[in-house]
């Protein structure tokens, strides 16, 4: 196929395949407090939940989103995505100071979480989980200048506390196989994992999510005590 034709088609048709580790954790008796390092606290950083109806929060979240997900390109696309997330009951926690958000992580509870995308895996194949008592974490990102402080793990503690208050008993998280730091952290924190594939097909403005059964893996213990 000629290069010019391939470039033209790429504007209208997109195909991606991703591999994820799906982590699962029992949070029934888990009690944690979320704290960030003292030196970050002294610089004004703290963890809080985003108000998705606050213009100031939306603006700072948009700036972080465009860095984390540059494919969105324009603020208008991000605003539409945030409106959709708010409508669906999704929630976001950030590491923030007075002028910017430096890290974020998202979660969805029960029927609100990502059932049109990766969360569909849970709905179809969470043999041991009551779906009404589960939540899933996703879309985590930390600015390079704040990496190394384990902020994703710390923000996740805030999500666990909120999930427990909402009656959830199981935590789920999807981590890209190339996200080595997050995979390492999840192997330490969570109970079990398995490998999943996610295919995205986008034609014009229509998008389909497919989860091919390319992997026959069953749940595998994380082996927390073996990881240093």
CA atoms lying within 13 Å on the CB side of residue 141: 15
What is this structure's pTM? 0.77
| Cα 146 from chain centroid (whole Å) | 18
Residue 64 has which token pair? 């972080």
How many C-beta atoms lie closer than 10 Å to residue 200's C-beta?
15
SS3 label, residue 114 = coil
In angstroms, rounded to a whole number, what is the distance separating the alpha carbons of residues 42 and 219? 42
Mean pLDDT score, 51-56: 96
Given phi > 0 = left and psi -120 to 50 = alpha, else beta, which region is 73?
left
CA torsion, ordered 179, 185, 191, 197, to nearest 10 deg: 0
* Cβ contact 134:122 at 8 Å: yes
Domain layout of the chain by residue ranges: 3-226
Most confidently modeled range among 13-17, 57-61, 78-82: 57-61
How many C-beta atoms lie closer than 10 Å to residue 175's C-beta?
24
Q: What is the per-residue pLDDT across 149-167, written as a single tens digit (0 to 9) for each?
A: 989 888 988 888 888 888 8
List b or e across 115-129, with b for residues whose CB sees 16 or more CB atoms inside 10 angstroms.
beebbbbbeeeeeeb
- pLDDT class for 43, splitting at 50, 70, 90? very high
- Comparing 56 with 135, which gets the higher pLDDT? 56
| Cα 190 from chain centroid (whole Å) | 15
H-only helix segments in the chain: 3-10, 38-42, 55-68, 75-87, 120-125, 151-165, 180-189
SS3 label, residue 118 = coil
Residue 5's pLDDT is what? 61
Strands 206-210 and 192-203: antiparallel
What is the CATH code for 3-226? 3.40.630.30
């Amino acid at each position: 196929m000629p290069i010019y034709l391939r470039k033209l088609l790429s504007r209208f048709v997109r195909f991606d395949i991703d591999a994820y580790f799906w982590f699962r954790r029992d949070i029934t008796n888990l009690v944690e407090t979320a704290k960030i390092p003292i030196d970050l606290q002294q610089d004004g950083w703290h963890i809080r939940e985003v108000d998705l109806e606050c213009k100031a929060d939306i603006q700072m979240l948009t700036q972080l989103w465009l860095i984390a997900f540059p494919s969105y390109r324009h603020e208008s696309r991000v605003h539409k995505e945030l409106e959709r997330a708010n409508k669906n009951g999704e929630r976001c926690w950030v590491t923030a100071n007075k002028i910017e958000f430096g890290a974020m992580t998202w979660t969805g509870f029960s029927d609100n979480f990502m059932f049109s995308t990766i969360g569909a895996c849970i709905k179809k194949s969470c043999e041991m989980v009551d779906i009404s008592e589960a939540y899933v974490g996703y879309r985590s990102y930390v600015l390079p200048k704040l990496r190394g402080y384990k902020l994703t793990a710390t923000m996740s503690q805030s999500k666990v506390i909120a999930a427990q208050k909402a009656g959830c008993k199981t935590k789920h998280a999807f981590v890209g196989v190339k996200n080595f730091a997050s995979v390492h952290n999840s192997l330490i924190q969570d109970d079990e994992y398995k490998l999943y594939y996610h295919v995205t097909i986008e034609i014009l403005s229509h998008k389909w999510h497919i989860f091919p059964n390319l992997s026959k893996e069953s749940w595998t213990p994380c082996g927390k005590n073996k990881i240093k």
